[in-house]
Amino acid sequence: MATSMSGLEIRGPIKPGFEEILTPEAMAFLAELEGRFGGERLRLLDVRTKRQALLDQGHKPDFLPETRAIREADWTIAPLPVDLLDRRVEITGPVDRKMVINALNSGAKVFMADYEDATCPTWTNLVEGQINIRDAVRRTISYEDPASGKKYRLSDKTAVLKVRPRGWHLEERHVLMDGEPMSGALFDFGLHVFHNAKELLARGSGPYFYLPKLESHFEARLWREVFLVAEEYLHLPHGSIKATVLIETILAAFEMDEILYELREHSAGLNCGRWDYIFSFIKKFRKDPAAVMPDRAEVTMATPFLSAYSQLAVKTCHRRGAPAIGGMAAFIPVKDDLQANEAAFSRVRADKEREASNGHDGTWVAHPGLVQVAREVFDAYMPTPNQIARKRTDVTVAAADLLAVPAGPKTEAGLRNNVAVGIGYIEAWLRGQGCVPLFNLMEDAATAEISRTQVWQWLHTGTALDDGQAVTLDLVDRVIAEELSAWKARVGADAYAKGRYADAASLFRDLVAREDFTDFLTLPAYERVVAEGA
């Protein structure tokens, strides 16, 4: 049954407690945002499509000549709030109740509550997530595990909260304006800032955000306009909304200065979202046989194109008085295997040492068990709250450095891992889970996208594996069938029957086999979730 409020039609069920979030006043604010900015969002998405057509024709991105003056001028972002000066370890995770409590209690400086890659956007997940964040802001949040009876509450000292709304490309199909879905980004942002901005400011913090998957400074400009309207509408101090932009698309890497400039009154720096960045590189140059990546496991931050991207982000941010946060270590603690656990921690430590020595002002982890090792590294390398004073004037990065395709093996083992991860992640997503541990790594939409997109690229560019096998649809079909059987053996017949493995394999196969590339696997997956009433 649909509910209408303030010109918006709510098609999701209003479960107990939802009415406290989806109030008439909040929906009026969402209607204001969608009415003002929904059209520009769609226009910018059309610009993405046109830019992709140029890339498909062989065009390569470069630093923009028309914004040279911005890059060469001396300017800085507005001063940072006190609680965003030290961000040496940030933890990310979905917005379910237990995870929110554990992340805030983890010992990290910042918790990014994620409505995007780590959350499957079912109606229940999203609105309950807003309830959970509201309660966390007011420190009333608690949780009792129904299985164990264990109770969870906030510690006295908790991480600073940041929220990542969905990207500009995602819609909220449960809320319509004039019969069309509203922006998922505006839905997530709007409800959080409406309910929590004043409370956060009263508690000495503020409404802080992460902005995902931007492809240009024009998309950052749209966010700035959203922030200005939100501050005026809600009577918030000018510039109190702060946002860190994830540089996680290859196109955005050429516009770091411009993105910071657009958001300079609201900027909290940039973050190297490495997994989406790798996905973006493959996706944008997917039709170029010269841009074929090696096995996913070979594409580490030590590869030249990622090292250049990391150091350019540091140099750009520090020149502008902004923090540059490092990327996600996908490794997680390995229970019941001491040797594998030690190897995982060793690789996390090496990764964080590389980031800290490059000059990053903090880093990301995906699991509370990794907060300490990351903090130890940054404590050793960064005794001050941040490294913004370290300007990295020694760094010079050209377009060719950002576009250098890494060398490395292309193996059947790599193909099989991509297929196994793709099936395992999509299966969890179809059940409403946005992040899931697979093969001792924390997989979210970004990491799974690398696997899916790499198979598409290998298949559609006629890539040959190192053993001489051509990546054909017959080979991919055989591997999908074999990895589907492997999943059944891993989880057991009962769990397999109750799960969505066959559906996941079918969707994965469709995504990699089709000639027209699907920009995000979450788009068709979301269609299925909505069709099933979730």
Mind listing the pLDDT tens digit for each residue in 132-173? 999 999 999 999 999 999 999 999 999 999 999 999 999 999
Residues 484 and 503 in one domain: yes
For residue 135, the Cα-to-chain-centroid distance in whole angstroms is 23
Average pLDDT over residues 205-228: 98
What pLDDT does residue 1 have? 53
DSSP, collapsed to helix, strand or coil, labels residue 435 as: coil
Q: What is the mean pLDDT of residues 76-81?
A: 98
Residues belonging to the active site: 164, 444
Domain end point (choices 338, 371, 401):
401
Q: Which two tokens stand for residue 49?
A: 């499509």
Query: Which pLDDT score, from 0 to 100, does residue 533 have?
Result: 86
Task: Among 378, 401, 424, give the residue marking a domain's end.
Answer: 401
**Is 71 in contact with 86 (CB distance < 8 Å)?**
no
Q: Name the band, by pLDDT with cuts 50, 70 and 90, for residue 445.
A: very high
Percent over 70 (pLDDT), the chain: 100
Q: CA-CA distance, 244 to 209, in Å (whole number)?
A: 6
- Burial class from Cβ neighbours inside 10 Å (0-12, 13-18, 19+) for residue 63 reads middle
Q: Which two tokens stand for residue 478?
A: 């055989």
Does one domain contain both 12 and 116? yes
Distance CA 207, CA 133 (A): 12
Name beta bridge partners: 470. Answer: 464
249-299 residue pLDDT tens: 999 999 999 999 999 999 999 999 999 999 999 999 999 999 999 999 999
Query: What pLDDT score does 335 carry?
Result: 86
Q: How far apart are the first and last CA of the chain?
A: 14
Question: Could you tell me which of 402, 368, 275 has the C-alpha nearest to residue 328?
Answer: 275
* Residue 12 near residue 123, CB atoms below 8 Å: yes
Tell whether the model's pLDDT for residue 23 goes beyond 80: yes
Is the model's pLDDT at 223 over the cut of 70?
A: yes
Band of pLDDT at residue 213, cut at 50, 70 and 90 = very high
Residues 369 and 456 in one domain: no
Burial class (CB in 10 A: 0-12, 13-18, 19+), 313: buried
Residues 370 and 442 in one domain: no
Average pLDDT over the chain, rounded to whole? 96
Shared domain check, 383 and 344: yes
Q: What is the mean pLDDT of residues 173-180?
A: 97
Contact (Cβ atoms closer than 8 angstroms) between residue 327 and residue 272:
yes
Show which of 336, 366, 401 is a domain's final residue. 401
151 and 178 housed in the same domain: yes
Taking residue 6's Cβ as centre, other Cβ atoms within 10 Å add up to 16
Q: What confidence tier does 4 reach under pLDDT thresholds 50, 70, 90? A: confident
Give yes or no: residues 301 and 439 share one domain: no
Nearest to 526 by CA among 44, 55, 72, 119: 119
The mean per-residue pLDDT over the stretch 34-53 comes to 98
CATH of the domain at 366: 3.20.20.360
pLDDT score for 330: 82
What are 27's two structure tokens?
A: 């929906």
On the question of pLDDT at 6 being above 80, the answer is: no
Q: Per DSSP, what are the bridge partners of residue 164?
A: 114
Predicted pLDDT at 400? 98
Give the model's pLDDT for residue 382.
98
Instruction: Write a three-state SS string for 318-329.
Output: HHCCCCEEEEEE
The HSE-up count of residue 123 (CA atoms within 13 Å, CB side) is 18
Same domain for 81 and 44: yes
| Exposed / middle / buried, residue 24 (Cβ in 10 Å: 0-12, 13-18, 19+) | exposed
Do the Cβ atoms of 312 and 396 come closer than 8 Å? no
Are residues 60 and 284 in contact, defined by beta-carbon separation less than 8 angstroms? no
Structural domain that includes position 418: 409-532
**pLDDT, tens digit (0-9, with 9 covering 90-100), for 457-489:** 999 999 999 999 999 999 999 999 999 999 999
The amino acid occupying position 79 is P
- pLDDT given for residue 331 in this prediction: 87
CATH code at position 465:
1.20.1220.12
Q: Are residues 335 and 436 in the same domain?
A: no
Whether residues 427 and 383 share a domain: the answer is no
Looking at the 3D structure of the chain, how many domains does it have?
2
Claim to verify: residue 155 and residue 120 sit in the same structural domain: yes
Categorise residue 179: left if φ over 0, alpha if ψ from -120 to 50, beta otherwise. left
318 and 372 share a domain?
A: yes
| pLDDT, average across residues 432-452 | 93
pLDDT value at 64 more than 70: yes
Which whole number is the average pLDDT over 46-70? 98
